[in-house]
Amino acid sequence: MIVIDKNKLTDLLDALNQSYQVIVPAKSADLTQFMPYDAVKEKNAEIILNENTVLSPKWLFLPQSEGMYAFWAKNKKLEIVDLPSDLEKMRIVFPVRHCDVQGIACLDKVFLDERHVDGQYLEKREKTVVMALMCNNPKDSCFCASMGVDRAHANNTVADVQVYDLGSEYAFEALSDKGQQAVEAIKALGSEKTVAVPEVKEQKIKVNIEGLPEKLSGMFYDSIWDSFMFKCIGCGTCAFICPTCYCFDINNKIRGEEGVKLRTWDSCMFDEYMLMAGGHNPRPGKKERVRNRFLHKLEYFYENYQMMLCTGCGRCLRKCPMNVDIVKFINQANAK
């Protein structure tokens, strides 16, 4: 492994930024999120390494709004035009915690499904090097270990480089060819050493998901939803901050004779999400919506892809304005 002193963080980012577009977690205007390193420097923003960002890195692969193609309608003729890629350089994102690496693994299941590979998503994945950080400072809201995330080794279908926090140093281990190239670019800043994987600190929140999808498959009509839905105000916070929620809507943005087909994030908690032509809504109330959110995360996704659509990142525990708590839900469902 290549071991680099943490004092050299700026050198490290600068070195990478020469051949890559570097993306880092940072705080700007009182919000933590993943930002291009150039913007961090320009805005004098603070790089945030000791906690998980409020907004997840999901937008790097599934932007909140993304043009799919442009179109012109002139003289009764329709012309469709591909949009140019907005990724000129390879990107590198450092560091991504294991819960968020797992989030990308969830998105891969959907957008790189062998039945349909999403070209725009694939391009972003291929042009991004993911540097995964094993975090040894879990927050009181973290429960990724319970959700099946390996705290010591990031999901290697996603992570290109594994980074270990050794206290005053970082250790870098390449896991893929892309990762190897990135490590080459920073090699000169440190030295080659053999290091032991640091000890994993326990997380406060523990929750049991053993047999949960099977159990939930029989609970569609359970009374749990009647009480659990009460607090929810049907906003989009939980879905938008979640590293795994991937629902999108396709819509047009038209000006005069030209327009763009857009793909934008959507949330199953919005009342209009399921609204159909003619006004029928198969999920008419918040009970049906809250049920869908939890069943999608903890049952349906598992049935389709044998993994949970929750990585235990804890964002919704902290940020749901009314504290609709997925851990509490799992505990209540287990107790049934």
Which residues in this chain contact other proteins in the complex, by CB under 8 A? 29-31, 54-55, 64-65, 140-141, 227, 230-231, 233-237, 239-241, 249, 251, 253, 262, 264-265, 267, 270-272, 286, 317-319, 321-323, 325, 327-328
- Residue 330 as a binder of ligand SF4 (CB under 6 A): the answer is no
Bridge partners of 162?
132, 173
With CB cut-offs between 5 and 8 Å by kind, which of ligand SF4, other proteins, none does residue 227 bind?
A: other proteins
Q: Residue 52: which of 156, 203, 178, 159 has the closest Cα? A: 203
CB of 287 to ligand SF4, least distance (A): 12
CB of 152 to other proteins, least distance (A): 26
Read off the amino acid at residue 61: F
- Residue 331 as a binder of ligand SF4 (CB under 6 A): the answer is no
Do residues 56 and 242 lie in contact, with contact meaning Cβ atoms separated by under 8 Å?
Answer: yes
Token pair for 49: 């390494």
Count of chain residues binding ligand SF4 (CB under 6 A): 24
Q: How many residues does the chain have?
A: 336
- Residue 140 as a binder of ligand SF4 (CB under 6 A): the answer is no
Taking each helix axis from N to C terminus, what angle separates 98-111 and 119-126, rounded to the nearest 10 degrees? 140
Token pair for 63: 């932007």
Q: In whole angstroms, what is the distance from residue 25 CA to residue 37 CA?
A: 9
- Residue 242 as a binder of ligand SF4 (CB under 6 A): the answer is yes
With CB cut-offs between 5 and 8 Å by kind, which of other proteins, ligand SF4, none does residue 81 bind?
A: none
With CB cut-offs between 5 and 8 Å by kind, which of other proteins, ligand SF4, none does residue 313 bind?
A: ligand SF4
CB of 244 to ligand SF4, least distance (A): 5
CB of 299 to other proteins, least distance (A): 22
CB of 23 to ligand SF4, least distance (A): 20
- Residue 130 as a binder of ligand SF4 (CB under 6 A): the answer is no
Give SS3 for 137.
coil
With CB cut-offs between 5 and 8 Å by kind, which of other proteins, ligand SF4, none does residue 264 bind?
A: other proteins
Residue 226 sits at φ, ψ, to 5 deg, of -60, -40
Is the CB of 67 or the CB of 213 nearer to other proteins? 67
Q: In whole angstroms, what is the distance from residue 247 CA to residue 273 CA?
A: 10
- Residue 312 as a binder of ligand SF4 (CB under 6 A): the answer is yes
Cβ atoms within 10 Å, residue 60: 17
Residue 79 sits at φ, ψ, to 5 deg, of -120, 130
**According to DSSP H, which parts of the chain are helical?**
9-19, 37-43, 98-111, 119-126, 177-186, 212-216, 224-228, 237-241, 286-295, 301-305, 315-319, 326-335
Options 25-33, 69-77, 122-130, 232-240: segment touching ligand SF4 (CB under 6 A): 232-240
CB of 250 to ligand SF4, least distance (A): 22
Q: In whole angstroms, what is the distance from residue 332 CA to residue 324 CA?
A: 13
Options 185-193, 252-260, 276-284, 312-320: segment touching ligand SF4 (CB under 6 A): 312-320
Q: Per-residue x/- marks for ligand SF4, 245-274, CB under 6 A?
A: ------------------------x-----
With CB cut-offs between 5 and 8 Å by kind, which of ligand SF4, other proteins, none does residue 53 bind?
A: none
Q: In whole angstroms, what is the distance from residue 92 CA to residue 104 CA?
A: 14
Indicate left, alpha or beta for 171 from its phi (over 0: left) and psi (-120 to 50: alpha): beta
CA atoms within 13 A on the CB side of 299: 16
CB of 248 to ligand SF4, least distance (A): 16
- Residue 311 as a binder of ligand SF4 (CB under 6 A): the answer is yes
- Residues at the interface with ligand SF4 (CB under 6 A): 232-235, 237-238, 241-244, 269, 297, 310-316, 320-322, 324, 326
